[in-house]
């Protein structure tokens, strides 16, 4: 089963729009035009490895980090939005449902990312397994796919 959900975020605040199985856009109010690169960081802990995603800034575009589900992998990659869209997407937390489910009626696993208050490019993420446990590790993966974005980094639950 191929599932797709995505979230895009940058800046000090996040917002989520859309419905289950659809796209989610999450942008923040700030960006750095002076630098050629925006580096987003997923802060590591004992369960989630640290990731850095370096995105090349584009003129007149807002650089955002896209979080989506690709099969059983949570995918982080660069994306770009119109600067005029940034005000439409302000909130605090991002949640993406995963592909794993203990049974048909059980909730899916999910990944929730919250921005660090002092940084607009650093995020702390928590993985929740379909049984509700928050002590399961994620590991970096490198799935083989034809249309893989060169900036993409992938996480999947460790078996």
What is the pLDDT, as a whole number, of residue 119?
64
Cα–Cα distance list, 80 to 1, 21, 88 (Å): 28, 21, 15
- Answer left, alpha or beta for residue 22, where phi above 0 means left and psi between -120 and 50 means alpha: beta
Q: 140, 153, 159: which is closest to 65 by C-alpha?
A: 153
How far is residue 142's CA from residue 157's CA, in Å, rounded to a whole number?
13
What is the pLDDT, as a whole number, of residue 116?
82
> Digits of tens for pLDDT over the chain (159 positions)?
434 444 444 443 333 333 333 233 344 334 445 679 999 999 999 999 999 999 999 998 988 888 889 888 999 988 888 888 776 554 456 789 888 877 787 788 999 888 886 667 888 999 999 889 998 999 999 888 777 788 999 999 987
Give this prediction's pTM. 0.74
What is the pLDDT, as a whole number, of residue 137?
94
Q: Which long-range contacts (CB under 8 A, 24 or more apart) does 79-82 make?
A: 79/8, 81/8, 81/25, 81/27
Per-domain boundaries in the chain: 6-157
């Amino acid at each position: 089963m191929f599932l797709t959900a995505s979230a895009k975020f940058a800046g000090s605040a996040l917002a989520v729009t859309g419905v289950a199985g659809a796209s989610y856009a999450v942008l923040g109010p700030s960006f750095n035009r002076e630098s050629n690169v925006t580096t987003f960081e997923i802060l590591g802990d004992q369960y989630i490895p640290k990731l850095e995603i370096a995105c090349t800034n584009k003129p007149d575009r807002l650089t955002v980090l896209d979080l989506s589900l690709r099969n059983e992998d949570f995918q982080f990659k660069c994306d770009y939005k119109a600067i005029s869209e940034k005000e439409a997407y302000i909130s605090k937390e991002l949640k993406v449902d995963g592909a794993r489910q203990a049974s048909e009626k059980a909730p899916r696993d999910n990944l929730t990312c919250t921005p660090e208050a002092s940084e607009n490019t650093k995020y702390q993420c928590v993985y929740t397994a379909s049984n509700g446990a928050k002590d399961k590790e994620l590991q970096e993966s490198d799935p083989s796919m034809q249309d893989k974005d060169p900036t993409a980094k992938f996480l999947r639950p460790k078996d």
